[in-house]
Amino acid sequence: MKEPTTRLPAATFQELAMPLFDQLYNFAHWLTRNPTDAEDLVQETYAKALRGFGSFQAGTNFRAWIYRILRNSFLNSRAGLKVTVPIDEDGPDITLPPETTTPESLLMQRVESEMVQQALEELPVHLREILLLCEVEEMSYQELAETLAIPQGTVMSRLHRARKALRGLLQARMQGGRHGM
């Protein structure tokens, strides 16, 4: 006689999706540069993911799956929209030890942060998104490959090109700043 097998209940959509809300909103905000558009994009992503959850295969990386939905929704419904990266109006959230915090150091950090954000704005979307997903959202190469629907080798080469392009833009800005002084 066969013993009945006990299976753990499958995770619900809410259990998988809700912990990712802030991360998805953050990525959507980076892409759209508009809080309202980011909220709409995340809402659209959750609606599409919920509709497709029945076809979601157990063992698949849910995080990569839902990020792919967000990315595809952005690319499909907002084609032609100028995509930029926000510069925080209140300045970056800087926490430094009191002994190193000076007005000059805070100003330099803000300038550096704004330079990086402006350089990111100049990158093509496919380079910007891979940098944001890797560096900000801390996705692994495997998650990036699944999210962007590209091979892992392409992830690594695209990430290398994105970092190189960003570095080039920052170097050009820094050299331009020196000549202007």
Give residue-wise pLDDT tens across range 86-136.
333 333 343 333 445 556 655 666 667 777 788 888 889 889 889 989 888
67 and 42 part of one domain: yes
179: containing domain: 100-181
Share of the chain above pLDDT 70, in %: 73
Q: What is the token pair recorded at 109?
A: 């950090």
User: Considering the domain boundaries, does residue 91 fall inside one?
Assistant: no
DSSP string, 28-93: HHHHHS-HHHHHHHHHHHHHHHHHHGGGPPTTS-HHHHHHHHHHHHHHHHSTTPPP-----TT---
128 and 76 part of one domain: no
CA distances in angstroms from 134 to 17, 127, 142, 177, listed in the order given? 20, 11, 11, 29
- Single out the residue in 83, 112, 145 at which a domain terminates: 83
Higher pLDDT, 147 or 97: 147
| Per-residue pLDDT at 179 exceeds 50 | no
74 and 130 part of one domain: no
Number of domains present in the structure of the chain: 2
Higher pLDDT, 55 or 149: 149
* pLDDT at res. 29: 86
User: Considering the domain boundaries, does residue 95 fall inside one?
Assistant: no
Per the CB < 8 A criterion, the answer to whether 152 and 124 are in contact is no
125 and 178 part of one domain: yes
Higher pLDDT, 110 or 30: 30
* pLDDT at res. 106: 57
User: Considering the domain boundaries, does residue 2 fall inside one?
Assistant: no
Give the confidence band of 177 by pLDDT, cuts at 50, 70, 90.
low
Average pLDDT over residues 9-32: 86
Residue 151 belongs to domain with CATH number = 1.10.10.10
130 and 158 part of one domain: yes
* pLDDT at res. 159: 94
How many C-beta atoms surround the C-beta of residue 41 within 10 A? 24
* pLDDT at res. 103: 64
Average pLDDT over residues 145-161: 93
Q: Which of 122, 126, 149 is nearest to 67 (CA)?
A: 149
- Single out the residue in 32, 57, 83 at which a domain terminates: 83
- 38-42, 99-103, 146-150: lowest mean pLDDT where? 99-103
